[in-house]
Structure 1
Amino acid sequence: MENSAASRTTQKNLVLLAVCIAAITMPFNFTAAAVALPAIGRAFDGSPMQLNWVTNAFMLTFGSFLMVAGALADSFGRKKVFIGGVASFAVLSAALTFAADLTTFDLLRAAQGVAAAAAFSGGMSALAQVFDGPARIRAFSFVGSSFGIGLAFGPITAGVMIEAFGWPTIFLLITLLASIAFILAARYMGESRNPDAGGIDWPGAISFTWALGIFTYGVLKVPQSGWSDPFVLGLFAVALLSFIAFVVIEQRVTQPMLDLSLFRYPRFVGVQLLAAAPAYAFVVLLLLLPVRFVGIDGMSEIDAGRLMIALSAPLLFLPIVAGYLTRWLSPSTICGVGLLVSAAGLFWLSHVPTGSAPWVLALPMSVIGIGISLPWGLMDGLAVSVVPKERAGMATGIFSTTRVAGEGVAVAVVTALLSALTASHLSVSTNTAEAAQHLVTGDVAGASTLLAGTSHAALIDAYSAGFSTLLLVLTTITVVAAGVVFLFLDRGDEQKDGVAPVLRAVSPGRPCR
């Protein structure tokens, strides 16, 4: 009997290991690509918009397919969806190293996002069947820590590998890790499904993904074409009509992908707004800062990766601390204070010009990381605690989709805004928009070619001024988000409108990107 119990425990731990290894690859796939973006741009000689899609394509499809992947896992089997996701993730990562051009590369990145959604949804739902009670909380905390490892050490690992072996090796490492997760899951993960699961809401899934993609494409076209361009306006009109169609579809189908009735709970709406805050206070910096350090400041990939640890290292332990703080403070209070701390770090960083010493940059980056770590591990628990208990599953799916898809949109919006702000600080009147796009992707040489009469120092000054203004905008957004948290989530009446009490035992980690 003891041997049998020990064998079951070992099997459970190996299943957890498989999901944790897969969890490490997802944020690494995002942060490593950001560090490698200047090198990828040099290798393919693509346009700034094509380079922007290297990150946007993955984030958008990842966020858009999370709820669909969860429904597939419940209907057809969590193990099938997980191992199918990690296997596809491994193959697609290897295929990136053989891409003939940047368009193909971007399409493969989009496919990676679909595979990552399947792996994440299948893995998390499988873990929920394997572990119960406090053991489930501990299991999910390990997954959260795995995401933190991918965020904290992804940039430095990518920097070392790029300088030593070239950028393709970072995707081969992802292939290796995903293959290990596949082997472990195929051998030790048991199959499970929900016998009462409904069908897949394909019309809703297609309309939602289409609307999100068209909107993001329009945002990325703005720096090049302007807000008044007929094509850009047409894209936004199509996106708006597509979102309206999505809402109409969700109101009429029997098994909607998005249960709109959840939005009658004010605190649930507040949690969705909370989900957007880290996108603007933290996630966009995972992309913008490595490009700035390598392309603008002239750091090596290794130095840039080492410096990024200052931003993401707090995620390794502070979310767990935040979980313990809920014994004395409400989660919404902790989240709001954390956002204010992040806002202070963003404001501080806005006053640090390009070319500053690494330690001068590391200090405000650490403050941002410390602040965002407090809500990072509590938001998932809030997402399910602000709706009736029987709606928790749908609430989690909506929250994850809002969060990840919102991060993809945030990256597109912030990149476009930085390009516009940089262009506004260039003194010349021609080619400024295109030159600014090159600067935003770290291509100073390309910008110099377009603006032959502009000095290197003037280009760097324009970027620095635009970056500082952008950080002030992000500071404002983060402060407003903190205000929303305090006003809408920290009400004290936990049972109002049938809302379940706020969870005190929450998972100290969440996915990124």
Structure 2
Amino acid sequence: MAAAPASKMPVLVAVCLAGIILPLSFVSGSIATPVISRELGGSAQALSWITNAFMLSFGCFLMAAGSLADEVGRKKVFISGVSLFALLSGLIGFSSSLLWIDVMRALQGVAAAAALAGGSASLAQEFEGRAQMRAFSMLGSSFGIGLAFGPFLAGLLIAHFGWRAVFLSSMVIALLSLSIGVSRLRESKNPDAAGIDWPGTVLFTAMLALLTWALMAIPAQGADSALVLSLLAATVVLLVLFVGVEKRVKHPMLDLSLFRYARFIGVQALPLATAFAFVVLLVLLPMQFIGVAGMTEQQAGLMMMALSLPMLFVPMFAPLLTHWISAGLVCTLGLLISAVGLGWLSQAILHQNMLGALVPMVVIGVGIGLPWGLMDGLSISVVPKERAGMATGIFSTTRVAGEGIALAIVGAMLAGFVGHGLQKIVPVTHSASESQAIQRLATGDLYQASLALPNVSASQLTLIYADAFHQLLLWLAAITLVSAVIVYAALCLRKSPATASEPLCERDQ
């Protein structure tokens, strides 16, 4: 098929600009958190919501936004999402309240879901065949650009203009996308759209919110506290209700029957693995570099490029490998490489060798880039063709919501390791200052942790944090290895007669 007409390129540019600011907003928020803490204060939990609130609402509303785009119009949803994102970015840039920043970051996640769902659907309408594949490849590359250059751009802006410039720059990019999209996107709807599954959407959103709240409350309250146990119990109740509703509604938000396909379940392990092996590091490593190692935000941004720069190239290289080995084996190999990188990085962090961390960060980025470049296509290929739309929606939700949950889990794990390390140095008092110090140190805030524990030296706290982060990275390596086994078993050893005649471990011909 010939190249797409030039008249359609502005549509691609508008959607790709929106695609850049979504990961840019995520990674730059983590770089900005330490300096926001110094200026506005706030508890460690409130500061962690700067990132978690965005990821949680993004994941919760992605499928609902897709249904809304089909119902009311893809252009309307895209324009509304980008407009709201730009407005909220500007408001965050001028905000002086951490609470309102957290609230607006949650609303930003909703806007991001609308922008991504509406933009992706618009691309599918504008392009066909090979041109459509190239268009979505460009959208994926836009995400890679946001991930690769987000940390450096954020560090550069903070160093010269302050943290507010990070969010104002997102507003500028969003407005540029909006200026093109308003005039060049065509409106389209699905005439057979069945509407939004509101009961399922509300239950799903509430379930994820309570689960994330429970995980984030563990460092401060303890895993056996009444609050955490109540939230987890409520999460289970909502899960049961959600499953019951989805089985009964005519057009469910989540088609549970897709989980009968073993290979579909295996594909869902891929975004969860990338969340634990890669995405959480985009948040944790800047805190280590800035709060513990004492780097500037600009230096931390440069360091982070070792992890994220491979995402610009490796995902595009991964499909070429499938001419010689299968997609399932490429993904498995990538996860194994990442697990090795995580183990290697744990040693560099343990010895606080920041330059020594660069090479294993590159290894992790290269390893994760292999499944990253294939898993979107796999999410469609492992189910019958007529179920591809729902499969894509489930996969995208698993990816984004899984990243938010993974952040909450690793945060709780790191705080637990820090608390255990602290017990070896000082008697356990369970005081408010001790709890605050653990939470602060777990988020890489060495200064505030030292203030909360004046009898413990900064060097001791650094060793505690290094050992805790070392343990966490080993656990992440183990999770990645288990994920590799699951992916290999599901994609290479199992085949589903309903979807394909050959397992995914047969190389592409």
Shorter-chain TM band: over 0.9
C-alpha contact (below 8 Å) 1:37/1:441 kept by paired residues = no
- Aligned amino acid, residue 482 of structure 1: A
- Code of the residue aligned with 2:97 in structure 1: it is D
Contact 2:262 2:494 in 1 (8 A): no
CA contact (8 A) 1:386 1:502 kept: no
Work out which structure has the larger RCO, using CA pairs closer than 8 Å and 6 or more positions apart in sequence: 1
Distance (Å, rounded) in 2 between the aligned partners of 1:272 and 1:420: 28
Structure 1 unpaired stretches of 5+: 505-513
For 2:397 and 2:503, locate their aligned partners in 1 and report how far apart those are by CA, in whole Å: 21
The alpha carbon displacement at 1:449 in A equals 1.7
1:328 match: 324
SS of the counterpart of 1:196? coil
Match of 2:129 in 1: 133
Over 3 Å counting, the alpha-carbon distance change for 1:500 and 1:259 in structure 2 is farther
Residues matched between the structures, number: 498
**Amino acid of the structure 2 residue aligned with 1:432:** E
1:498 correspondence with 2:494 = no
Q: Which residue of 2 aligns with 1:155?
A: 151
**Matched residue, 1:203:** 199
Note closer, same or farther for the CA distance 1:418–1:245 as it changes in structure 2 (3 Å cut). same
* Aligned position for 1:482: 484
Partner secondary structure for residue 193 of structure 2? coil
| Whole-angstrom distance in 2 between the partners of 1:368 and 1:14 | 35
Distance in 2 (alpha carbons) for counterparts of 1:421 and 1:355? 17
> Paired residue for 2:461?
459
Instruction: Kindly indicate whether the alpha-carbon contact (under 8 Å) linking 1:31 and 1:287 is maintained by their aligned counterparts in 2.
Output: yes
What is the DSSP-based 3-state SS (H/G/I as helix, E as strand, rest coil) of the residue aligned with 2:498?
A: helix
Local SS of the residue matching 2:268? helix
| 1:381 aligned partner | 377
Return the letter of the residue paired with 1:473: W
For residue 46 of structure 1, give the secondary structure of its aligned residue in structure 2.
Answer: coil
Q: Residue by residue, what CA displacement relative to the aligned partner does 1:479-508 show, whole Å, maximum 9, x if unpaired?
A: 000001111111374x5233487899xxxx
Partner AA of 2:484 in structure 1 = A
State the shift of 1:82 in Å.
Answer: 0.4
State the secondary structure of the residue aligned to 2:244. Answer: helix
Alpha-carbon distance in 2 for matches of 1:35, 1:89: 19
| Distance verdict in 2 for CA 1:262–1:463, change over 3 Å | same
1:61–1:111 contact (8 Å) kept in structure 2: yes
Aligned position for 2:446: 444
The one of 247, 257, 260 aligned to 1:261: 257
How far apart in 1 are the matches of 2:195 and 2:121?
A: 17
Percent pairwise identity: 51
The answer to whether the 8 A contact 1:281-1:368 is kept is yes
The CA deviation string for residues 437-481 of structure 1, in whole angstroms up to 9 with x for no partner, is 101223222111221100010111100000000000000000000
Query: 1:385, 1:501 within 8 Å by CA — same for their partners in 2?
Result: no
CA RMSD of aligned residues (A): 1.6
The letter of the residue matching 1:371 is G
Partner Cα distance (2:479, 2:55) in 1 = 21
TM-score (normalised: structure 2):
0.95
Verify the 8 A CA contact 1:77 1:193 in the aligned structure 2: yes
Partner SS for 1:210: helix
**For residues 484 and 38 of structure 2, what CA distance do their matches in structure 1 show?**
40
1:351: which partner in 2? Answer: 347
Distance 2:360 2:114 in 1: 36
The equivalent of 1:230 in structure 2 is 226
Where in structure 2 are the equivalents of 1:77-476 lying within 5 Å? 77-353=73-349, 356-426=352-422, 427-428=425-426, 429-430=428-429, 431-476=433-478
Question: Separation in 2 of the partners of 1:236 and 1:16?
Answer: 43
Deviation of 1:433 (Å):
3.1
Q: Contact 2:492–2:504 (CA<8 Å) still a contact in 1?
A: no
Q: Is the CA contact (8 Å cut-off) linking 1:310 and 1:362 kept in structure 2?
A: yes
* Code of the aligned partner of 1:162: I
In 1: Cα distance, 2:310 partner to 2:448 partner: 36
For 2:291 and 2:276, the matched residues in 1 are separated by: 22
Kept after mapping to 2: 8 A contact 1:382/1:503: no
Kindly state the Cα deviation for residue 100 of structure 1 after the two structures are TM-superposed.
Answer: 3.4
Write the distance in 2 (CA, Å) between the matches of 1:283 and 1:294.
18
Q: Which residue of 2 aligns with 1:510?
A: none
Q: Work out the CA distance in 2 between the residues paired with 1:271 and 1:310.
A: 27
Aligned residues of 2:493 and 2:503 also touching (Cα < 8 A) = no
The letter of the residue matching 1:203 is: P
- Which residues of structure 2 form unaligned runs of 5+? none
Q: CA deviation at 1:355?
A: 7.0
Return the TM-score normalized by structure 1: 0.95
Partner of 1:509: none
Q: Distance in 2 between matches of 1:471 and 1:59?
A: 22
1:30 to 23, 26, 29: 26
- 2:477 alignment partner AA: T
Kept in 2, the 8 Å contact 1:387–1:500? The answer is no
